[in-house]
Chains A and B, each alone.
Chain A
Amino acid sequence: MIGNWRWLVIGCVGLAMAGCTGFGARDEARSGADVVERGTDGGADRDGSRVGTADLGGRFDGSALDDPQSPLSKRVFYFEFDRHEVSAEDRPVVAMHAEFLAANPQISVVVEGHADERGSREYNLALGERRAIAVEKLLTLQGARQSQLQVISFGEERPVALGHDESAWRVNRRVELLYSGQ
């Protein structure tokens, strides 16, 4: 148990450092995946991952991107199977990212699309791209410049959760916003 906590502390420091290089969103998603993978371990890891998130916030210095209370801290959007529509719940959040990008033209973002493992790999690569393009379109419609955005799809090749059931699949069907250039 103590060993677990030590790992978590190391993990939190690692996350915070990774955050400083501008890839906070990705690492946050990865830590979320760990929770899913180790779901059977019970409470300790889940609690630990919450500690990690608070720590991550504490080390940043103030801009909207780094504020865990800001809606901009939500940078992963989930999708239904074989669908690419951004959910009604996520649309306002994407709009806030668009507004932020419009106000900060020096900042760019990678819009990374993913799929769950079901079906064929190449189709999923295209599906991941289509999801990313759906988010990209919303961002540009609402003020972000095309030059700030880069779409990349990994299809089903980079799952955050490695299970083979819906609990893993629903978190793998996603688009992540990865900010850089801060």
Chain B
Amino acid sequence: MKRIIHLLVLPLLLVAVGAQARLSIEITEGVEGALPIGIVPFGWTGTAPPQEMAAIIGADLARSGRFAPIAADRLPERPQTIETVSFDRWRGLTDSLVVGQVAAEGNGYRVRFQLVDALRGDQLAGYSIRTDAAGMRRVAHQIADIVYQTLTGERGAFDTRIAYVTVAQEGGKRVHRLAIADADGHDEQIIYTSEHPLMSPYWSPDVGWLAYVSFEEGASAVYRQNVMTGERERVAGFRGINSAPAFSPDGRRLALTLSRDGNAEIYVLELANRRLIRITDNLAIDTEPAWTPDGQALIFTSDRGGQPQLYRVRVGANGPLESPRRITFEGSYNARATVSPDGRRIAMVHGGGGGFRIAVMDLESGNLRVLTRTRLDESPSFAPNGSMIIYATEVGGRGVLEAVSVDGRAHQRLGLHRGDVREPAWSPFLGK
């Protein structure tokens, strides 16, 4: 009887959870000099569209720190096409306008939008996109990406996902969940739930799989799970720790940390044939491997010098091609590197007397800059366009996610309604 009730209740809960965004975003620090932009609420015909496109696009652009959307009640007019814009009325307010309409079409919608240069009266971009109701938010993110790329010259990363781990105390148990959401925190989906700790989610380059660490068998093991189908397999369950998985840029190999040979060392696992290649051999802790974008080298954490610092080693098909070289020298604790998509800098956990903060270091010059001011920051992850870094920290006794622009100027917080959220992993781009 109990089981039946459980089954009846569970789908209802899932629906309730799915219907509301569980991560809320708060921009904690805006940026001076952000570009004003007018995003006019889209007009509509037929059935009212399920999403406020302009609100989603505006929130995306504001989060980047590069744009300051004009508040809806301060818009001088609400045109829906470039033909109906009175350019005089926008002068002094903004040089850039987004206008559009949503029309019901079949069992879905057609979304048209134009990005307008309000100074010259030119159209900079214009698209017509067909979608079903469920795809509306995604279309809004894609429009934000087009606007961002057209005006900044840099690819937008709004139509991407984040993975993260949540922990909540429920009925005397600590429940760990591996979740995926849109980059703005909406549409959270739980892909794995466990009473045992979950750690270290890492996206495959095609965004089809997540590798992660689960303690469900009593000790750490590395799994990979297909995000769409739920197919799941254990890829490393050796004696000792199995952790820190990182897909290679070609998706064929997984760098990871194993202590099967005595203490924590870096290995590369070839996924097709399960061949295991040992990269480090040292009595110290070696862990947290991060690939460079060319797939030729790993940057990892080692305390071989007495304290955790970052090292770099070039790797070949059968092992390391050199002795690892230390690359961080500033501060007593540098760990958990992640490499920017262009390969030019790394983000890391940077510690000293004051706490543990997120820092970025230029790989060529070695210049290191601290981006955050909280004291328990960890797990940095770059947006696929390299513009922002999402990371975990603790605020008011709870685990939250925050994002900071790479220049350190824009800050935002993604909080759960309850419990802790940690270990964010920003997905690669979803399409070419």
Nearest-neighbour CB distance to chain B for A103, whole angstroms, equals 27
Residues of B within 8 A of A157 (CB): 197, 199, 215
The answer to the question of B288 belonging to the interface, with a C-beta cut-off of 8 Å to chain A, is yes
The answer to the question of A42 belonging to the interface, with a C-beta cut-off of 8 Å to chain B, is no
Are A120's CB and B394's CB within 8 A?
A: no
Binds A, one of B88-96, B240-248, B362-370: B240-248
Residues of B within 8 A of A119 (CB): 308, 333, 335, 349, 351, 356, 378
Nearest-neighbour CB distance to chain A for B121, whole angstroms, equals 52
**Given A119-B333, A119-B351: A126 in contact with B379 (beta carbons within 8 A):** no
Are B308's CB and A154's CB within 8 A?
A: no
Binds B, one of A57-65, A93-101, A127-135: A127-135
Nearest-neighbour CB distance to chain B for A168, whole angstroms, equals 11
Binary flags per residue of B325-348, CB closer than 8 Å to A gives 1, else 0: 000000001011000000000000
Are B263's CB and A117's CB within 8 A?
A: no
**Given A119-B351, A122-B244, A123-B285: A153 in contact with B220 (beta carbons within 8 A):** yes
Which secondary structure dominates chain B's binding surface? strand
Residues of A within 8 A of B379 (CB): 120-121
Interface size on B, residues (CB 8 A): 34
Are A120's CB and B220's CB within 8 A?
A: no
Which A residues contact B (CB, under 8 angstroms)?
82, 117-123, 125-127, 129-130, 133, 151-155, 157-158, 163-164
Are A123's CB and B308's CB within 8 A?
A: yes
Q: Which residue of A lies closest to B196 (CB)?
A: A157
Are B397's CB and A122's CB within 8 A?
A: no
B277-315 contacts to A, CB under 8 A, are 285, 287-288, 301, 303, 307-308
Q: Which residue of A lies closest to B289 (CB)?
A: A122
Number of A-B contacts (CB under 8 A): 88
CB < 8 Å: which of B257, B351, B376 contacts A126? B257
The answer to the question of B85 belonging to the interface, with a C-beta cut-off of 8 Å to chain A, is no
Nearest-neighbour CB distance to chain A for B418, whole angstroms, equals 14
Are B376's CB and A118's CB within 8 A?
A: yes
Are B349's CB and A152's CB within 8 A?
A: no
Are B335's CB and A126's CB within 8 A?
A: no
CB < 8 Å: which of B218, B259, B307, B423 contacts A121? B423
The answer to the question of B54 belonging to the interface, with a C-beta cut-off of 8 Å to chain A, is no
CB < 8 Å: which of B197, B219, B336 contacts A122? B336
CB < 8 Å: which of B241, B301, B397 contacts A120? B301
Are B199's CB and A152's CB within 8 A?
A: no
**Given A122-B200, A126-B241, A153-B241: A164 in contact with B288 (beta carbons within 8 A):** no
Nearest-neighbour CB distance to chain A for B238, whole angstroms, equals 13
Are A122's CB and B218's CB within 8 A?
A: no
Nearest-neighbour CB distance to chain A for B63, whole angstroms, equals 26
Residues of A within 8 A of B218 (CB): 152
The answer to the question of B23 belonging to the interface, with a C-beta cut-off of 8 Å to chain A, is no
Residues of A within 8 A of B421 (CB): none
Are B200's CB and A118's CB within 8 A?
A: no
Residues of A within 8 A of B200 (CB): 121-122
The 9 closest A-B pairs by CB, nearest first: A157-B197, A120-B336, A126-B264, A126-B285, A120-B335, A122-B244, A152-B219, A120-B349, A122-B288
- Taken together as a complex, chains A and B put the C-alpha atoms of A118 and B394 apart, in Å, by 11
Residues of B within 8 A of A82 (CB): 303, 307-308, 333
Are B349's CB and A125's CB within 8 A?
A: no
Q: Which residue of A lies closest to B264 (CB)?
A: A126
Residues of B within 8 A of A158 (CB): 197
Nearest-neighbour CB distance to chain A for B224, whole angstroms, equals 17
Q: Which residue of B lies closest to A133 (CB)?
A: B263
Are B257's CB and A122's CB within 8 A?
A: yes
Residues of B within 8 A of A125 (CB): 199, 220, 241, 243, 264, 287
